[in-house]
Amino acid sequence: MSLLNREIFWPPADELTEVAERIRSRLGEWPAASKEWRICLTAPDAHGANDLIVFTEQHGADVDRLIADGAAVLEAHGERAVLRRGDERFVLEGERSDDWLAALAAFLDCDFEPHDALTLALAWRPGDENKPDAWPVDFDTFPRVGDLPAAPATPFPECPQRLGLYPVLPSAEWVERVLDLGVVTAQLRRKSTDADDLKREIERSVSAGRRHQAQLFINDHWREAIAAGAYGVHLGQEDVQTADLDAIAKAGVRLGLSTHGYYEMLRALHFRPSYLALGAVFPTTTKVMPTAPQGIARLARYVRLLDGRVPLVAIGGVNGDVLRDVLATGVGSAAVVRAVTEAQDVKAAVSALQHEFAR
């Protein structure tokens, strides 16, 4: 897709546009961008929701007003870049190549959200477009997420690099049923506000995990998981700010973290979790997702960057129809929900899913 006939930069910057076009042409086929961003090198008089306004020097602009008007604002000084969009704030630290703004335009055109496009743009290095695979794949060039609390002094325990089939289940009865079928990794996602119910369900699930020597994770309820002696807990990005990660680590409980793109992966890695969940790969109705589905192509890129660095779990809309394609990316685990809990024959469904991992 050509960038040359579009207003990519304001004021018009032909040289930047040509470099962006050259980079974009080397990134391969991606879905058309759902939003055509305009990168503004100075604050325009008329600005709106499609504008990403970049300041690389000190300025007197009213950033709060620009954001209130719907624009995104990126302030990049030295090795620190701060992106603000609505109520969200994204901080990245690291070197920038001379072509980083052109790379930002190219990755935005690949339909990445601004914070993920910025992450990739900061990882871009001169000459990358001349490589057989132009996509940033060297982890050492990627920026760091800034302004994060310290990671726990006690590292989270490790779990197997390849966790295999990973059913996410609504009750202890389901946990027992699935573990009895030979599944060795599972998660209890109990949607309840009843403290007594949570305690019973978690204790019963943990007990089943011990009987089967399985890797049983508890979703969200980390206090109850610690009390029950759970193998692990699974938390969302928003939980990192509220959960006592030190207490989880000191209890010897493993930690899995949800991620939804490059920025969140780097943010999660700061805390040295036991595994990362990458999603949602496909549309899912089991929960409201903060981002659009990632798709197989993005999943493959994530796996290539992180495989061997931390165990990875693909999650979101995964079922028997797509599992083979998911595993072809090299990911070592896939979480499933309805593929098990809504199966007409649960034993047959689990067997078929397990067979895909054994291929």
Q: How far apart are the first and last CA of the chain?
A: 37
Cis, bond preceding 11 (omega within 30 deg of 0): yes
CB 19 within 8 Å of CB 40 = no
> Which residue's entry shows tokens 């050509």?
2
Annotated ligand binding at 128? The verdict is no
DSSP per residue over 319-351, as a string?
A: -TTTHHHHHTTT-SEEEESHHHHT-SSHHHHHH
Q: Which residues contact 7 (CB under 8 A, 6 or more apart)?
A: 38
Count of CB atoms situated within 10 Å of the CB of 5: 7
Q: What is residue 249's DSSP assignment?
A: H
Annotated ligand binding at 6? The verdict is no
Which stretches of 165-260 are DSSP H helices? Answer: 172-179, 195-211, 222-228, 245-250
Annotated ligand binding at 4? The verdict is no
Annotated ligand binding at 286? The verdict is yes
Annotated ligand binding at 220? The verdict is yes
Annotated ligand binding at 187? The verdict is yes
Annotated ligand binding at 191? The verdict is yes
Distance CA 316, CA 305 (A): 20
Tokens of 252: 């010897």
Annotated ligand binding at 216? The verdict is no
Annotated ligand binding at 141? The verdict is no
Tokens of 117: 């496009």
Annotated ligand binding at 219? The verdict is yes
Q: How many helices (H) and strands (E) does the chain have?
A: 13, 15
Q: What are the two backbone dihedrals, phi and then psi, of residue 301, each rounded to the nearest 5 degrees?
A: -65, -40
Beta strands in 121-214 (DSSP E): 144-145, 164-169, 185-188
Annotated ligand binding at 42? The verdict is no
Annotated ligand binding at 279? The verdict is no
Annotated ligand binding at 347? The verdict is no
Annotated ligand binding at 188? The verdict is yes
Beta strands in 51-163 (DSSP E): 51-55, 72-77, 80-85, 88-93, 144-145
Annotated binding residues, as ranges?
A: 187-191, 219-220, 239, 258, 284-287, 317
Annotated binding residues for Mg(2+), as ranges?
A: 220, 239
